[in-house]
Structure 1
Amino acid sequence: MRQIVLDTETTGLSWEKGNRVVEIGCVELFERRPTGRTFHCYLNPECEFEPGAQEVTGLTLEFLADKPKFADIAEDFLAFIEGAELVIHNAAFDVGFLDSELARLGPQYGRVRERAAVEDSLELARQRYPGQRNSLDALCKRLGVDNSHRQLHGALLDAQLLAEAYLALTSGQSEIGFDSLTETVSQVVIDRRIAPELMGARPRVHVDEAELAAHEARLAAIRARAGACVWDSHDDVAVAAADALAL
C-alpha cells in the first residue's frame, strides 16, 4: 500500500474566511516503510496572515513573496498524491484548505478525496487513547518519537514526525517481521500437506534462559509502545514459526 503522510501550514484557522495554504509537506510510505520520496513547497498565499499565525510557523510574507502560488504547483501535488492513502492529523482541517485551493482553480481539479483515500490519525489516536491529549506533540511523547527539534510548526517536519508516530500508533505484524514469517510458515504448511513423506526428522532448537529473557523483554517493549502485542493472540503463528525456524 502506498501512503502519503501530509501536513499543511496556513495563514489562519479558517479557509471559509479566506485564509490560504502557505506550506505543504508530504512523506511517502510504501508497505509502511519510508521510501525517501517527499513533496515540499512554500507558497505565496496572496493574502495577509491572521494575528498569531506567523508566530506558529515563523513564516513571513517577505519570505513567501517570491515563492510559487498554489496554481503553479497544483499539478505536481496532485500527481504525487494520486491513488495513495493520505494520513493526516485532523484531516478535516488540511483537506478543507486543500479543497478550497483546488476550487479556486476550477471544477476540473475536483477534490482531494476524489484523488486519494484519507485516514485521520487524530481519530485513530482518540480511539486508542480516549480522554487523553492527542496532539502531535502529545503523541510523539507517548509513543517515544523524538520531537525535541520541533520549535515551530513546519509542514515537512510535522509530516516526518507524524509518519513515525503513525507507524508506532498502528504498529503490528509488519514492524516485527510477522508478514514475511507468516508467508514462509504458510508455505511450509502447504509443503507438508502435499508431500509429507519428504519431510524427514527435523532438528529441534533448544532456547536457553538468556534467550528466553531477551525474547520476553522484546515483547514487553512492543506491548509498552503499541498497547498490545500480536504475538500474544497468535499462538498458532508462534508455534508454526518455531517449527519453520527449526527446519
Structure 2
Amino acid sequence: MREIIFDTETTGFDPATGDRLVEIGCIELVNRVPTGQTFHAYFNPQRAMPAAAEAVHGLSDIFLRDKPLFHHGVDALLDFLGDCPLVAHNAKFDFGFLNHELKLIGRDLISFDRMIDTVAIARTLHPGAKHSLDALCTRYGIDRSHRVKHGALLDAELLAQLYIELTGGRQIGLVLAAEDTIKAGSMERAIVSTVRPVRPARPHQASAAELERHAAFIATLDKPLWLDGVAA
C-alpha cells in the first residue's frame, strides 16, 4: 500500500486570515517502508513573512521572493500525491492550508477521507502524554539532533519514522516470521499426530454371557421410556 507522509510550513496559523503555504515536503512509503522517493518545494506566498513564523522555520522574504507561485508547481505536487492516503501531524492544519491554496487557483480540493492524523493516533496510544513531534520522537528514540528549525521535508522524514513506530511497522517482519514459525510447528505436529501405530481390529460383537446379563438387567426396569407407545 502506498502512503504519503507530508508536512507544510506557512506564514501563520490561519489561511482564512491571509496566511499562505510556503513549503511542502513529502515522503513516499510503500507497505510502511520508505522508497526514497520525495517531493519538496518552496512557494512565494506573495505577502510578507511575519517575524514569529520566520523564527520557527527560518524562511525569509528574501529567500522566498524568487520562488515559484503555488500554481506553477501544483501539477507536479498532485502527481506525486496521487490518490493514496496522506499522513500528517495535526493533519487538519496541513490539509487546511493545502486545500486553501488549491481553492485559490480553482483546483479540486483533497478529500479529508484521505487524511491520517498521527496526533490522533498518538492520543489513542498515549493518552495524557505530550503529542508534539519533538515529544514523540523522544519517546520513540528517533534522532532529531539535526533539527535546528522546522523544515517541511525534514519534519516529513521524522514523521515517517514516527508513523512507522506508531503503527508497529518495525515489528511487521518479526510478527510475520513468528506466525510462519508457529504455522510450521503446527503443521509438523499435525503430521506427527496423523502417524499412528497400526493395531489389529478389536472384536465388537457381544458374547453369549454378555447378552444374558444385559437381558437380565433390562428385565429389572419398570416401564422404560423407550418403550412408551410400543404395543406389548
Counterpart of 2:68 in structure 1 is 68
Aligned-pair distance for 1:184? 7.6
TM-score by length of 2: 0.76
Counterpart of 2:43 in structure 1 is 43
Aligned-pair distance for 1:18? 1.0
Distance 2:74 2:10 in 1: 16
Richer in helix (by share):
1
Counterpart of 1:156 in structure 2 is 153
* One-letter amino acid of the structure 2 residue matched with residue 18 of structure 1: G
- For residues 90-101 of structure 1, the aligned pairs below 5 Å read 90-101=90-101
In structure 2, relative to structure 1, the CA distance for the partners of 1:189 and 1:73 (3 Å cut) is: farther
Distance 1:76 1:192 in 2: 56
Note the residue ranges of structure 2 that are not aligned, 5 or more in a row.
196-232
In structure 2, relative to structure 1, the CA distance for the partners of 1:186 and 1:117 (3 Å cut) is: farther
Aligned-pair distance for 1:175? 3.6
Counterpart of 1:110 in structure 2 is 108
Distance 2:120 2:109 in 1: 21
In structure 2, relative to structure 1, the CA distance for the partners of 1:176 and 1:72 (3 Å cut) is: same
Poorly superposed stretches of 4+, deviation over 4 Å: 183-193
Counterpart of 2:55 in structure 1 is 55
Distance 1:68 1:183 in 2: 52
In structure 2, relative to structure 1, the CA distance for the partners of 1:155 and 1:135 (3 Å cut) is: same
Distance 1:61 1:173 in 2: 41
In structure 2, relative to structure 1, the CA distance for the partners of 1:181 and 1:99 (3 Å cut) is: same
- For residues 197-212 of structure 1, the aligned pairs below 5 Å read none
* One-letter amino acid of the structure 2 residue matched with residue 117 of structure 1: R
Aligned residue for 1:47, secondary structure, equals coil
TM-score by length of 1: 0.71
Identity of aligned residues (%): 44
Aligned-pair distance for 1:190? 7.8
Aligned residue for 1:165, secondary structure, equals helix
Counterpart of 1:79 in structure 2 is 79
- Does structure 1 residue 138 correspond to structure 2 residue 135? yes
Q: Over alpha carbons, which structure has the higher Rg?
A: 2
Deviations 1:169-208 (A, max 9, x none): 2215754432365468658868998xx59x99xxxxxxxx
Aligned-CA RMSD value: 2.4
Distance 1:120 1:111 in 2: 18
In structure 2, relative to structure 1, the CA distance for the partners of 1:26 and 1:173 (3 Å cut) is: closer
